Chains A and B, each alone.
Chain A
């Protein structure tokens, strides 16, 4: 069974008299442990697709199965549960809670899981921070960390729940190229360890880390192909 199976997905915004087709009939299938980058010009619908795949949003129409479960028709709370259990987000702007330590930030998804005891949460969060090489920064707050370190905290937060997919929307967009590359090395490692990764970027050398690239244009998939790295 495919991890993600999307068919004829539409997201249409009604802006007064004009309708904006942010997604205009997208069909795509993504298997477990794939490493996919989504590219396309600004406004082509990349973020919209990511938000739908991340269950932050619901489509205007279309089918969306995750692990065989129909997600397109789910309600708010069910979507929140899917986000909590199956999805790890990494954002361009990090989106850490500014007043909380790295540890607290990474613990957040576990808190909303509701079934994990406090000391287990702590252990899991420390383990995740160690995986991104921040084992010595657990009690730092975001403003005491560099941009690259902040994004690594965000990555730790994304993987602490052992999600089925890690979604990253321009994760290197706010970083210089050297730190961006470090983050990409981290994603490569996570991929090697068996994680499924989907990332949005507009930089070819970032996209080249993935094994498959999906190019969007005006809300439609223009190209869907293996990268050099993904070619056998």
Chain B
């Protein structure tokens, strides 16, 4: 049986070679379908990696008490009219909550920084409590974080994000240098380790961190982000969330019939939204793939019917010389599969190149072996299905009639 496979492969290749244009046109649908499916899976894999990487910034056991929910469809105006988060609730929350292990508070806004004649514009100034390292992934590379007493007294000290440090201090150690934020002088006490971007977009390395009390002292006004981060045991996050809701309601003096006027955000919200987006992307990709493979498959079935008809006499000759039905059927099936598998291979090469470009310029996205294998198997399967009916038609031809065919 093996020898027929090679023989049929040889026939298929020379047949396709002698109809080059027709073969290429026929295979195009498959090429597109395979590009769609392999690129889609590669992108989803890549975005998955990116997502998990980003989720590290939001600890699994962290609950964020904020004015705005991260996701949801609540009325914008209602949300807009919610009161600001009172950051001094943090101490009360720590006291009243059973689950809270750490309660940190933060504010943020952007400002311009300068050192001598160098400046860094639109830098995110992050005012945080001294326990902030316990609820985040910030890591001090040089120098130190500020102390509780520096926070309490509103000391004008700052830690620079790695990008900010590079901008203001292209060479040399920033520690103990004095920089300006607006008109205020700050002493650099540390540089943060590089953290990368959140969801591939928002850099965590272009921020600076100052004590919350200092922030409150310098920046007045309602703008900017305010958030209280409550760290709870990871496996009790849902229970803790309920408890925390109650605590904040009490602190805010909400009556039972009143709705929450704050949001408790968590990593899960991101996950759920992300899953939804992923499903939508994946679903769209699947539809594109299915459609182009279907259309491609129909085209191939059509061309194979034409091919069988054109080669009726050839089939007659082969049968007269002893070819069995299954040998003729195999010949045309392999021909159809060679078209689709080559289409699949071309599609795979194109999407490999595209994903290499994406890796280089956007985010890591490498084609896995599994995806490549699946793409080739899928395209061969399309060939098998598309070729079946024409191949059977050819195999069933009566040799005498086929030999008489003009």
The interface of chain A, by Cβ under 8 A from chain B, is 51, 54, 56-57, 76-77, 80-81, 83-85, 89, 91, 95-97, 99, 108-109, 111-114, 118, 157
- For A97, give its contact among B3, B314, B400 (CB under 8 Å): B314
Complex CA gap A81/B399 in Å reads 14
CB distance from B312 to the nearest CB of A (A): 12
Given contacts A77-B325, A81-B324, 16 further A-B contacts (CB under 8 A): A54-B320, A56-B399, A80-B319, A80-B324, A80-B325, A81-B322, A83-B319, A85-B322, A95-B403, A96-B317, A108-B317, A108-B318, A108-B321, A111-B3, A112-B322, A114-B4
Query: Do residues B399 and A97 form an inter-chain contact, with CB atoms below 8 A?
Result: no
Could you write out 14 A-B pairs with CB less than 8 Å apart? A56-B320, A77-B326, A80-B323, A84-B322, A84-B323, A91-B403, A96-B317, A97-B314, A99-B14, A112-B323, A112-B327, A113-B322, A114-B1, A114-B4
Q: Nearest Cβ in chain A — how far from B330, in angstroms?
A: 11
Given A56-B399, A111-B7: A95 in contact with B317 (beta carbons within 8 A): yes
Q: Does B18 contact A (CB under 8 A)?
A: yes
Least CB distance from B314 to A in Å reads: 6
Cα-based distance from A208 to B360 in the complex (angstroms): 83
C-alpha spacing A85/B321, complex, angstroms: 9
Q: Check if A109 sits within 8 Å of B325, measured CB to CB.
A: no
Q: Which residue of B lies closest to A118 (CB)?
A: B3
| Chain B, range 117-176, C-beta contacts under 8 Å to A | none
Knowing A95-B316, A111-B7, A114-B3, say if A89 contacts B321 (CB, 8 Å).
yes
- Is B313 in contact with chain A by the CB < 8 A criterion? yes
Q: A95-B403, A114-B3, A114-B4 are in contact. Are A109 and B316 (CB under 8 A)?
A: no
Q: In whole angstroms, how far apart are the Cα atoms of A97 and B7 in the complex?
A: 15
- B14: nearest chain-A partner, CB-CB: A99
Number of B interface residues at 8 Å Cβ cutoff, please give it.
23
Q: Which of B4, B326, B403 has the most CB of A within 10 A?
A: B403
CA distance A127 to B392 in the complex (A): 35
Across the interface, do B320 and A95 meet the contact criterion of CB distance under 8 Å?
yes
CB neighbours (8 Å) of B317 from chain A are 95-97, 108
Q: What's the least CB distance linking B400 to chain A, in Å? A: 5
Q: A56-B399, A57-B400, A91-B403 are in contact. Are A99 and B18 (CB under 8 A)?
A: yes
* Complex Cα spacing A57 to B404, Å: 14
Residues of A within 8 A of B324 (CB): 76-77, 80-81, 112
In the complex, chain A residues whose CB is within 8 Å of the CB of B314: 97
Q: What is the bound-complex CA distance between A38 and B201, given in angstroms?
A: 88
Classify the interface of chain A: helix, strand, loop or mixed.
helix
Q: Which residue of A lies closest to B18 (CB)?
A: A99
C-alpha gap A85/B7 in the complex (Å): 19
Residue of B nearest to A93 (CB): B403
**Using a CB–CB distance below 8 Å, which chain B residues touch chain A?**
1, 3-4, 7, 14, 18, 313-314, 316-327, 399-400, 403
Q: How far is the CA of A109 from the CA of B327 in the complex (A)?
A: 13
A109 vs B7: C-alpha distance in the bound complex, in angstroms?
12
CB distance from A102 to the nearest CB of B (A): 14
Nearest CB in chain A to that of B8: its residue: A111
Closest to A82 in B: B322
Q: Which residues of B contact A111 (CB under 8 A)?
A: 3-4, 7
A96 to B321, CA, bound (A): 11
Q: Establish whether residues B400 and A112, one from each chain, have CB atoms under 8 Å apart when the complex forms.
A: no
Distance A117 CA – B194 CA, assembled complex (angstroms): 66
B321 touches A84 (CB 8 A): yes
- Residues of chain B contacted by A77 (CB below 8 angstroms): 324-326
User: How near does chain A come to B42, taking the closest CB pair, in angstroms?
Assistant: 40
Shortest CB distance A18–B (Å): 20
List 7 A-B pairs, minimum CB-CB distance, nearest first: A84-B322, A112-B322, A80-B324, A109-B321, A83-B322, A77-B324, A95-B317
Q: Is the CB of A56 within 8 A of B7?
A: no
* A109 neighbours in B (Cβ, 8 Å): 321-322
Instruction: Give every chain B residue within 8 A of A51 (Cβ-Cβ).
Output: 400
Chain B, residue nearest A51 (CB): B400
Alpha-carbon separation in the docked complex, A114 to B324 (Å): 11
Contacts of A54 in B (CB 8 A): 320
Distance between B68 CB and nearest chain A CB, rounded to angstroms: 72
- Enumerate chain A residues within 8 angstroms of B327, measured Cβ to Cβ: 112
Residue of B4, B7, B320, B399 with most chain A CB atoms under a 10 A cut-off:
B320
- The CA-CA distance from A30 to B16 in the complex, in Å, is 45
Q: How far is the CB of A52 from chain B (nearest CB, A)?
A: 10
User: With a CB–CB cut-off of 8 A, which chain B residues contact A114?
Assistant: 1, 3-4
User: CB-CB < 8 A to B322: which residues of A?
Assistant: 80-81, 83-85, 109, 112-113
Q: Which of A57, A83, A99 contacts B321 (CB 8 A)?
A: A83
Rounded to whole Å, the gap between the CB of A72 and the closest CB of chain B is: 16
Minimum CB–CB distance for A79 against chain B, Å: 9
Residues of B within 8 A of A80 (CB): 319, 322-325
- Closest CB of chain A to B85's CB: distance in Å? 80
Nearest CB on B from A62, distance (A): 18
Q: Which residues does chain B contribute within 8 Å of A56, judged by CB atoms?
A: 319-320, 399-400, 403
Q: How far is the CA of A191 from the CA of B318 in the complex (A)?
A: 26
B6 to chain A, nearest CB (A): 9
Measured CB to CB, the nearest residue on chain B to A107 is B7
Which A residues touch B399, using CB under 8 A? 56
Complex alpha-carbon distance, A97 and B316, angstroms: 11
The residue in chain A whose Cβ has the minimal distance to the Cβ of B313 is A95
Question: How far does the Cβ of A38 sit from chain B's closest Cβ, in whole Å?
Answer: 17
Give the residues in chain B near A118, CB-CB below 8 Å. Answer: 3
Residue in contact with A76 in the complex, picked from B320, B325, B403, CB distance below 8 Å: B325
User: How far, in angstroms, from A118 to B4 measured CA to CA in the complex?
Assistant: 11
Q: CA separation between A77 and B327, bound complex, in Å? A: 10
* Cα-based distance from A57 to B398 in the complex (angstroms): 9
CA separation between A51 and B399, bound complex, in Å? 10
Contacts of A57 in B (CB 8 A): 400
